[in-house]
A and B are shown apart, each in its own frame.
Chain A
Amino acid sequence: MPLLRRLVRADHPAIPFTLDGIACEGRAGDTVLTAILTRAERLRLSEFSASPRAGFCQMAACQDCWVVLESGERLRACSTALSPGMRILTRRAGAA
């Protein structure tokens, strides 16, 4: 079950992206963090113990929510707006 529960914006325009290769849709106004966690239970695996992480402060301070794109680019999920066609990976340990 996803971590976040959407209370508003459910009917906003869809923004397509992929999560670990699977086609997904976010909503206009979503951050990357929201788009992922309204579908999934984590953002990444930690570098040292490969334990699941899903962000913490949501205000760009704790640096817990870095995710990696298939291109290798890294994003801080809470402070990056979702954009169409993002190909996001959460499976790889050391994503940040």
Chain B
Amino acid sequence: MNAHSTRTRLQPLIVGAGPAGIRAAQALVAGGLRPLVVDEAPACGGQIYRQRLVPDQRSARDLYGSEAGKAEALHRDFAGLAGKLDYWPQALLWNLRDGRADIMVSGESRQVAYDGLVLATGATDRVLPIPGWTLPGVFTLGGAQIALKSQGCAIGSRIVFLGSGPLLYLVAWQYLKAGADVAAVLDTAPFAAKLSLLRGLPLFPGIVLRGLRMSAELKLGGVALHDGVADVRIEGTDRVEAIAWRRGGREHRFACDGIGYGLALRSETQAADLAGCRFAFDPRDRAFLPERDAAGRTSVPGIYLAGDGAGIAGADAAERSGERAALALLQDRGLPHDAGRAAALERELARIGRFRAVIEAAFPFPAHWMGGLADGTTLCRCEEVDAGAVRDAIARFGVHELNRLKAASRVGMGRCQGRVCGAAAAELLAHETGRGIEAVGRLRAQAPVKPVPLTLALAARPEAAE
């Protein structure tokens, strides 16, 4: 660490300009540093507070509902930091090695050395394969929300929302308010699980009541609400035509031409993996996550985690964990930082964490689906590997570990690198081998974390020599 403190200090790097990245940037600037913020999107906000490419007739209230104030504050605060930080939008961090980041921006790759790295990489929808899920017209819940919010489009003319988690009801409600025809909300969680939301009332009454109000408004709006949905099949030849499911032994079917589907969220952890952070299994998220302390420090000195990329906690937690991680970075660099503020943020994060446990109990992840998954159902969308082929590979090669399964079956080897099928592959492997999900391991991240042109990789050069 001595050599560290005597050399000319470099800029801190923040990856992601969602709620966590924005608050981290703001706190670093307030602490006297000039961070570089890189983000894949053309404008700040992340997925939840994503901005349109061009304005349209909708207000912030139309786009972000009850969270409009938070969205506008984040966008405004980040704009206010202009000149005090460096910001590269539409920039993809595709590798981290030897203390440097490889970043693709404007068609070229730049290599950036940094001193202090805040990873605020966010999350994507968590899904499990179901028959018909590759058909055109099936989008993730997050995808359905982006189509509406960012592009002003509905994903169909008669839409069904399927899955579990708060986003299920939120997106359905947003579609209803936007004037789309929402046929049904199919919740995979049993009704009894919802009772646990009562435990959330004393923690965050406003959020629980808002959820109940959305359900009531969906019902009033003519949307069929079903819970305990199982054995879901999506039907259609060249596109979605219907959805079928069972509940309590009875078969149900709805004609529809668009489906939004998701089972809560999963963290984007590839960058932390490439940075060498130590991972541990998190039973609540049923996933391996990079280890961090209450401040966001990872096992690697100078690398910090914030937001949903470090474990699913939502946008309000992301703002706080972004600021908290930045305060830790300032402290670790020997700069003045507000210890009282840091402690307050940690208390708020702990409170949100308790609420998150309630949400998880109310919307349990249907891991048991994988046991009954039909052999012919596509598991890996990229490589088109079906469940039967995965079961074959597990049996033929005696596979116990996820990276072995990838080598033997090509699951997770495609362009998405297992973002979409990784959870399902782990659950299926655990089921087939009779092991716990924590015993089958995790897919190792590989650079580039997303496809980049080969010519780009060859052009990579250090941007700043030390």
Contacts and interface: CB of A to CB of B under 8 A. Distances in A.
A63 B415 contact: yes
Contact of A6 (B54, B58, B152, B415): B152
A16 interface: no
B214 to A, nearest CB: 19
Nearest to B138: A56
Nearest to A48: B384
A3 B136 contact: yes
B239 A57 contact: no
Contacts of A38: 153
Contact of B143 (A9, A41, A59): A59
A46 B371 CA distance: 27
Given A5-B180, A7-B179, A62-B381, A57 B142 contact: yes
B378 to A, nearest CB: 9
Interface string A24-56: 000011110010011001110011110111111
B297 interface: no
Given A52-B239, A59-B142, A79-B40, A7 B154 contact: yes
Contacts of B268: 61
A58 interface: yes
Nearest to A5: B154
Contact of A5 (B57, B153, B450): B153
A29 B53 CA distance: 5
Q: Contact residue range for chain B?
A: 35 or more
Contact of A52 (B136, B143, B382, B420): B136
B239 A49 contact: no
B384 A49 contact: yes
B190 interface: no
Nearest to B53: A29
Given A7-B152, A57-B143, A81 B420 contact: no
Given A5-B156, A5-B180, A41-B238, A12 B139 contact: no
A9 B450 contact: no
A30 B142 CA distance: 18
A55 B53 contact: no
B54 A28 contact: yes
A62 B451 CA distance: 11
Interface residues of A, number: 43
B165 to A, nearest CB: 15
A42 B136 contact: yes
A79 B142 CA distance: 14
B324 interface: no
A69 interface: no
A60 B420 CA distance: 12
B246 to A, nearest CB: 25
Contacts of B124: 57, 59, 61-62
A67 to B, nearest CB: 13
Interface in A1-15: 1, 3-9, 12
Interface of A: 1, 3-9, 12, 28-31, 34, 37-38, 41-43, 46-49, 51-64, 66, 76, 78-79, 81, 96
Interface of B: 40, 42, 47, 52-54, 56-58, 124-125, 134-140, 142-144, 146-148, 151-157, 178-180, 238-239, 257-258, 268, 381-384, 414-416, 419-420, 450-451
9 contacts: A6-B153, A7-B152, A8-B56, A42-B239, A46-B134, A58-B139, A62-B420, A66-B451, A78-B143
Given A9-B54, A42-B136, A59-B146, 10 more contacts: A1-B257, A29-B53, A41-B238, A52-B135, A54-B136, A54-B137, A57-B124, A57-B139, A61-B416, A66-B415
The 8 closest A-B pairs by CB, nearest first: A54-B136, A8-B152, A58-B143, A29-B54, A63-B415, A4-B153, A48-B384, A61-B124
